[in-house]
Structure 1
Amino acid sequence: MHIESGVSLKPYNTFGLPAVAHTLVRVASDADVRQVVDHPQLGLAPKFILGGGSNIVLTRDMPQVVVKVEVMGRRLVEERPDGWLVEAGAGENWHEFVTWTLANGYPGLENMALIPGTVGAAPVQNIGAYGLELQDRFHSLDAVDLITGRSVTLNASVCKFGYRDSEFKHSLAGRTLITRVRFLLPRPWKPVLGYLELERKVAETGITNPSARQIADWIIAVRRAKLPDPAQIGNAGSFFKNPVVTPEQCRDIIGRDPEIVHYPMPDGSVKLAAGWMIDACGWKGKTVGQAGVYEKQALVLVNRGGAIGSEVMTLARAIQESVYGRFGIRLEPEPVVV
């Protein structure tokens, strides 16, 4: 456990927003977390758990104890008839972990390549992309209860995964710190290609039976073409969730906007493309203060240089009102606003 005071969080959030942590504690093991819990001052203080900072919007300085998770390590736990059980420390970079699984012959996470952030933050958000979500490969995770200091192992039923959601955003928020995550990567491996941009890659290349590494390469290329690199332009990835509506609601919207991009879901509901709706409202490339809408993808809000959290949220609320006014749909932000 390493304790620091008055730490700038600007380098620790991909939006590059200014904020100061009055107290920041780095933890690299379960034992470090228990030290925090047992500490006479830190133990009783409210806590904010920080991973890679890729899914937060900082609007103020942080009075809570900011616990930065730096638990490392990657390993094959077990090779089973039904798949490879792999584990990573919560502080590991997500994309580097995906790359490691592919390099070692454990396919199954390739559709989620190049998603920013850490392994420990992935279950919190139930990250997903190109037809796959974390919950589809999740096995279990280890965590430490920040009230009792007790180590626990949680399965999917406790995590209550939803669309870009989990129990870690609700009753377990600020109470449970994830230290390790395990994934069951199924065998025999089957490619997940039922996504428009992947179907286009198959058509363009003529590769009808791509390997996991090929799929990862396609997804990396697609993401780099349409999403800004946080190292170059501050952002938190997709800022709004794609809204899910009933078939009746979708038909009503199509009646007014026949061009709207939408995807039927297995449960009969319909997912609408939030980026398309934002673009249709004329927001692409627009700016409020130093916060703007990315020119290549309207779903991404960016820091044009020196933006503060309140500017980002002013822009976000204006977009929400605009989309609601035209489509009757209230967009919900993906990042955690603090």
Structure 2
Amino acid sequence: MNIQENISLKAYNTFGLEATAQYFTEVKTVEALVEVLSLETFKDTPKLFLGGGSNILLTKDFEGLVIKIDIQGIEKVDENENHVYLKAGAGVVWHEFVMHCIAHDWAGVENLSLIPGTVGAAPMQNIGAYGIEIKDVFEKLEALNLETLEIETFTLEQCHFGYRESIFKNSHKNQYVILNVTFILSKTPNFHVEYGAIKDTLKEMGIEQLSIKAISDAVIHIRQSKLPNPAEIGNSGSFFKNPEIPKAQFDTLKEKFPHIVSFPSVNPELIKVPAGWLIEQAGWKGYRDGQIGVHAKQALVLVNHGGGNGKAIKELAYKIQDSVNEKFGILLHPEVNFI
């Protein structure tokens, strides 16, 4: 076991923000994780568990123990005529898992290509894109109870998935560490091309024969054209959730803003309004203040141009919230976790 002191977290968060961990360690097995958490020295020490660091905003140094979860492995655990069941370690890079599925012609996650982060973080907020969410391919997960240090299994129903929500962000927050996730992939693809610009992009790319790889390629093309690469400019992808508002409120807004963009919600009584559109209409797209700002191509993405700090990004997020709320009467909620 290697526990280091005063370690920079700049390389461990996609915003590329400079912050220091008082203590830091990386675990590659469940046994190593249990061993670290059993140490009397750190029993009462605050702990931060890191995956890919793509969904956090570090606003200050972390006075405690940062544990990087690097549990690897993708294993076929079951199979039948129509489906394959894959168990992936929490530390597996999400996009690598998607590429593994596509390489084996197993369908279900192709629309989720190029989403940053790890497998372990995916169910925490029920990641989703282009009409698909984790819950659509989820079988179960195993998580370590931080109080008892025992492994518990959570089924689809027990996770209480919602829009960018699960019990691990709400009632069970900071009580468990996800160790692995089992997914159900299909041997017969059910293509989802109706959401977003997938259909148009496939046409632009000259793809006539639909396949899960073609859809993945289209999604990657769209994301790369709209979203900045964290390796080039610090960001965490979508910073805010797309708000869902009552239909009556939307109808009122449409009278005032005829060109307002919307999508149907799972709840027929609600309408989903793109947060990026709201932020852009409030005048923030391309905004820059020193080394931080809002991306020029996608207003939903807050960025660190280099040398920025998390506290300034947090303050910018609050200003954007206030501005959108004042203009539209809609309060935006961050997807990103403030640390």
Shift of 1:187: 4.2
Distance in 1 of aligned mates of 2:255 and 2:202 = 32
Q: Bigger shift: 183-192 or 308-317?
A: 183-192
The residue correspondences of 1:1-338 to structure 2 (distance < 5 A) are: 1-204=1-204, 207=207, 210-268=210-268, 269-338=270-339
Distance in 2 of aligned mates of 1:45 and 1:192 = 46
CA contact (8 A) 2:105 2:212 kept: no
TM-score scaled by structure 2? 0.96
Number of matched pairs: 338
CA contact (8 A) 1:33 1:149 kept: no
Q: Which runs of 5+ in 2 are unaligned?
A: none
The AA in structure 2 aligned to 1:240 is F
CA contact (8 A) 2:138 2:182 kept: yes
Structure 2 vs 1, CA of residues 2 and 141 (structure 1 numbering), >3 Å: closer, same or farther? farther
Q: For residues 213-264 of structure 1, give each alpha carbon's deviation from its aligned partner in whole angstroms, at most 9, with x where no partner exists.
A: 0000000000000100000000000111100011111111111111111001
Aligned-residue RMSD, C-alpha: 1.4
Shift of 1:79: 1.4
The AA in structure 1 aligned to 2:217 is D
CA contact (8 A) 1:30 1:151 kept: no
Shift of 1:51: 0.4
CA contact (8 A) 2:10 2:16 kept: yes
The AA in structure 2 aligned to 1:167 is I
Shift of 1:143: 1.4
The AA in structure 2 aligned to 1:121 is A
CA contact (8 A) 2:74 2:87 kept: yes
Distance in 2 of aligned mates of 1:215 and 1:95 = 14
Q: For residues 187-220 of structure 1, give each alpha carbon's deviation from its aligned partner in whole angstroms, at most 9, with x where no partner exists.
A: 4321111213012234445656510000000000
Q: Bigger shift: 179-188 or 314-323?
A: 179-188
Q: Which runs of 5+ in 1 are unaligned?
A: none
The AA in structure 1 aligned to 2:310 is G
CA contact (8 A) 2:261 2:273 kept: yes
3-state SS in 2 of match to 1:270: strand
CA contact (8 A) 1:47 1:174 kept: no
Distance in 2 of aligned mates of 1:31 and 1:204 = 49
The AA in structure 2 aligned to 1:283 is W
Shift of 1:76: 1.4
The AA in structure 2 aligned to 1:280 is Q
Distance in 1 of aligned mates of 2:208 and 2:31 = 49
Distance in 2 of aligned mates of 1:238 and 1:72 = 26
Identity over aligned pairs, percent: 44
3-state SS in 2 of match to 1:169: coil
Shift of 1:45: 2.4
The AA in structure 2 aligned to 1:67 is I
Distance in 2 of aligned mates of 1:150 and 1:111 = 34
